[in-house]
Structure 1
Amino acid sequence: MMHWLSNALDDWQLMHSLELLATLLALAYVILALRQSLWCWPAALLSTMLFTHIMWDSALLSDALLQLYYAAMALYGWWRWQQMKQQHKGLNTVSEWPWRRHLQLITITALAGVLLGFVMANYTHADFAYLDAQTTVFSVMATWLVARKLVSNWLYWVVIDAVSIYVYAQKHLYFLTLLFMLYTIIALAGYFIWRANYQQQPQLAVSGR
């Protein structure tokens, strides 16, 4: 009995140590992204490698799949931000879309979330299947917008992060819950900082293409 308790405690400490390290790296990613630093992407890659294990172990399967996507996007984001900086002669520029394009994107993404939620609810052991699926597909979309340096990506993250606070609190992932509280605040700040940047810069990338 004591041996089992000792192993359980060791497993708990290891999991929460990994969660803490992944949390710190994820927080570094967001802060560096807010500052438009290329180094946000290596921090994101390391964080996702740890979070993939954590999410799978917590039966948040949609989130586990999302982490694999994040890893790929970290590589794409590094390449894309370098390309954009070269195109604009070393300047950090951001872009924006008209609201109609956002409405189309939201509609398509929400429908994809319903489909993913149905699969997770009926064919896996996932918890919060539909809610987790929606945050997953919107995170996929919003991460792509970050890589494209679209100002409004931060508004999507405000909503995603707020919903994620509830999910992670229910799963007793306390470091993640705290992280997403900070994320929500940083996302709000990120929107206003990037919007100010967009308004001040020459209109070099208004379409986000």
Structure 2
Amino acid sequence: MWSQLTTWLQSLQSDWLMMNGWEALAVLLAMAYLILAMRQSIWCWPAALASTAIYTLLFWKVSLLMESVLNVYYMAMAVYGFWLWKNGGEGGQGQQLVSWSVKRHLGIIAVTGMVSVLVGYLMANYTHASMAYLDAATTCFAVMTTVLVAKKVVENWLYWVVIDLVSIYLYLSKGMILTSGLFVLYVGLAMSGYWLWRKQLALDSEPQMVGA
């Protein structure tokens, strides 16, 4: 009995150390993505691709099913975002910063909120997912917000502030300490990202002086 218990504890310790090693790498890559995105560097997308590939496996292991599915989506969006930032916009010169109206954002929030409730209900009743409604809400809003990032909508950062705050609670409840710490930083960086993009949009909107 004691031998079996010792073996189980050793296996648990090994899995924990392995997971935290991968989690640490995913955290570093995610931080690189966010900092590069704040600077509007196209290289944020390769960092996102690598980070989300790792998180896809980590979230599946702790039964956060929608978070795992979300990261598969992130991988696809990393490819799309890279292409859009390089080839999108007018004349294929790369996507430019834009700001959307409050009315448009309210419509987006309403639709995404309804989808979140529906997905949460399905998860709660037909899967083994834990914290189904919170998991569904963070997933659905993150799916929507990632599109805003790819399109360089300035207000995407405000959505991330709320998503990150909810995610902190979600990950702490699963013992993912490093990831929770990452999301604490995300809140501050998202606020900084909004300020930087807003400032750059104002500069881009200023009339250019043309020499005589």
TM-score range, shorter chain: over 0.9
Quote the Cα distance in structure 1 between the aligned partners of 2:74 and 2:66: 12
Alignment match, 1:104: 107
Alignment match, 1:200: 203
2:182 aligned counterpart, secondary structure: helix
Work out which of the residue numbers 60, 78, 92 in structure 2 matches 1:56: 60
Quote the Cα distance in structure 1 between the aligned partners of 2:200 and 2:90: 18
Work out which of the residue numbers 137, 162, 166 in structure 1 matches 2:165: 162
Instruction: Say if 2:45 is the partner of 1:44.
Output: no
Alignment match, 2:15: 11
1:155 aligned counterpart, secondary structure: helix
Structure 1 68/203 Cα, relative in aligned 2: closer, same or farther at 3 Å? Answer: farther
Work out which of the residue numbers 1, 21, 27 in structure 2 matches 1:23: 27
Alignment match, 2:86: 82
Q: Note if contact 2:124-2:133 (Cα within 8 Å) is conserved in structure 1.
A: yes
Q: What's the CA shift for 1:183?
A: 0.4
Work out which of the residue numbers 137, 151, 154 in structure 1 matches 2:154: 151
Q: Note if contact 1:63-1:132 (Cα within 8 Å) is conserved in structure 2.
A: yes
- 1:48-93 deviations in whole A, cap 9, x for unaligned? 1100011011111110110000000000000000014784757x73
Quote the Cα distance in structure 2 between the aligned partners of 1:83 and 1:52: 28
- 1:107-134 deviations in whole A, cap 9, x for unaligned? 0000010011011100111111001100
Q: What's the CA shift for 1:202?
A: 3.3
- The code of the aligned residue for 1:61 comes to L
Structure 1 89/80 Cα, relative in aligned 2: closer, same or farther at 3 Å? Answer: closer
Q: Note if contact 1:25-1:47 (Cα within 8 Å) is conserved in structure 2.
A: yes
Which segments of 5 or more consecutive residues in structure 1 lack a partner in the other structure?
A: 205-209
Quote the Cα distance in structure 1 between the aligned partners of 2:206 and 2:102: 18
Alignment match, 2:175: 172
2:205 aligned counterpart, secondary structure: coil
Q: What's the CA shift for 1:14?
A: 0.5
Quote the Cα distance in structure 1 between the aligned partners of 2:93 and 2:18: 46
1:195 aligned counterpart, secondary structure: helix
Quote the Cα distance in structure 1 between the aligned partners of 2:93 and 2:8: 60
After TM superposition, where is structure 1 displaced by more than 4 Å over at least 4 residues in a row?
A: none
- The code of the aligned residue for 1:187 comes to A
Q: Note if contact 2:87-2:93 (Cα within 8 Å) is conserved in structure 1.
A: no
Instruction: Give RMSD over aligned pairs.
Output: 1.7
Alignment match, 1:125: 128
Instruction: Say if 2:77 is the partner of 1:73.
Output: yes
The sequence identity of aligned pairs, in percent, is 49
**Normalization by structure 1: what TM-score?**
0.93
Alignment match, 1:116: 119
Which segments of 5 or more consecutive residues in structure 2 lack a partner in the other structure?
A: 208-212
